[in-house]
Amino acid sequence: MKTLSQLQAYKENKEKISMVTAYDYPSAKQAEAAQIDIILVGDSLGMTVLGYDNTVQVTVEDMIHHAKAVRRGAPDTYVVVDVPFGGVGISEQYDLEIAVKLYQQTSANAIKAEGAHLTKYIGNCSRMGIPVVSHLGLTPQSVGITGYKMQASNKDAAQQLLNDAHAVQQAGAVMLVLEAVPADLAAEISKQLDIPVIGIGAGKDTDGQVLVYHDLLNYGVEHQAKFVKQYGDFSVGIDALTEYNREVKSSEFPDGNHTYKKRVMDEDTK
């Protein structure tokens, strides 16, 4: 199984880290077959596979269900599972109980928590033996306040994000995801931190990159962010389903090649 030590060595050796956000057994199997370094079971599954309006509707039970499927599909890949909205920030005891539940029941290698305000939480989890990946910049659970836009777009905000990145590392975060921040700032944060920094919409000079499985394969995507590049096109599935529907309606399917041909009705069954 891929380990945190190996990922840390990638950073030190300036070898890029690949991360894919995936949510189920078949996508996890494909990611592992492609030798992706990390699978993130993100709470974006709410919109991508569950049809919710946003990540706020995703529950702890949703995350556990999908993360367990991912682990079964990718037993040798480093797996990170999101702490969903409401899974942290209630009380120290509650927060730790949810962290333990996510980490223990999913067999993930780490949990991921959004926000610079969670330094104490990161420290508490670390002391419990639960690795935490921090997520700064654009944090989807807070888009009701921040909106979907580039973060840290002025000098003061950039300095604050740099300070926050150092703070979460000091608290014990084992990795950092930076989303939708200026490329030069992301490069500087990656340079200054000792832990791996994974970017999404943060330029090419971070220690690694993450994209969502469905985005990079154009699989049921309705809106595409500026930073997404498509590497395949699963929309051909619509054409295939349309043709299947046509053949069923016209009785072309199933034909003789897809039918069991033994004629049991002609046999003497006495």
Question: Which residues have a catalytic role annotated?
Answer: 179
CA–CA separation, 25 and 114 (whole Å): 25
Measured distance between the N- and C-terminal CA atoms of the chain, rounded to whole angstroms: 60
The CA-atom distances, in angstroms, between 6 and each of 28, 59, 82 are 20, 31, 21
CA–CA separation, 90 and 202 (whole Å): 31
Both tokens assigned to 1: 């199984």
CA–CA separation, 158 and 187 (whole Å): 12
CA–CA separation, 220 and 45 (whole Å): 12
Closest CA relative to residue 93, chosen from 139, 128, 56, 61: 128
Feature table: binding site for Mg(2+) = 43, 82, 114
